[in-house]
Amino acid sequence: MNQHTNTITFRYATKPDTPLILHFIKELAQYENLLHEVVATEDNLKEWIFDKEKAEVIFLMEDEKEVGFALFFHNFSTFLGRAGLYLEDLFVLPQYRGKGYGKLLLSKLAQIAIERNCGRLEWWCLDWNKPSIDFYLSLGAQAMDEWTTYRITGNTLQTLASESLTHANSQS
């Protein structure tokens, strides 16, 4: 009996992959019931990921087909005095789940963090996403329960920025 073994590889995304990156982002947003919040376009993904190099994307490939992705970037820990990797998105297409591909993607990110001498790898997870939480805990990840995430966007961000400018101008 001839048994087929899938070939698993990783590759970094390139600019022509931008439509595929957006597809994966939308698939993840659909899973998280947040598709209505996706305003990213191919043009701004090209600008921020490839032109400004503010993030990176790796694909997990099964037999040369992209079946999972991770989007990440460097952050910095003042306490450690060195950079870390922040995982913004990790997603495996539904039909490829249960094969250990999520763990392989995280393992690849850990390898990248070690190669770059980063002090840590971190990410957020939605509180309701019990399957992912259980998975992360099984890998030895620690929930940062003593921290609360804060966010300022949109008009609030604009207002706060203008207060800084107003204060700076009044000091001149």
List CB contacts of 18: < 8 A, sequence separation 6 or more: 42, 45, 46, 49, 50
Kindly list the domain boundaries of the chain, sorted by start residue.
Answer: 8-171
CA distance 8 to 6: 6
The pair phi, psi for residue 127, each rounded to 5°, is -60, -30
H/E stretch holding 125: none
CA distance 7 to 63: 5
Q: Is pLDDT at 152 greater than 50 in this prediction?
A: yes
Q: What is the pTM of this model?
A: 0.89
**pLDDT tens track for 76-133:** 999 999 999 999 999 999 999 999 999 999 999 999 999 999 999 999 999 999 999 9
Does 150 qualify as catalytic in the annotation?
no
Q: Indicate the class that CATH gives domain 8-171.
A: alpha beta
Percent of the chain with pLDDT over 70: 94
CA distance 34 to 77: 29
Catalytic-labelled residue, pool 12, 86, 101, 136? 136
Amino acid residing at 10: F
Q: Is pLDDT at 1 greater than 60 in this prediction?
A: no
Amino acid residing at 18: T
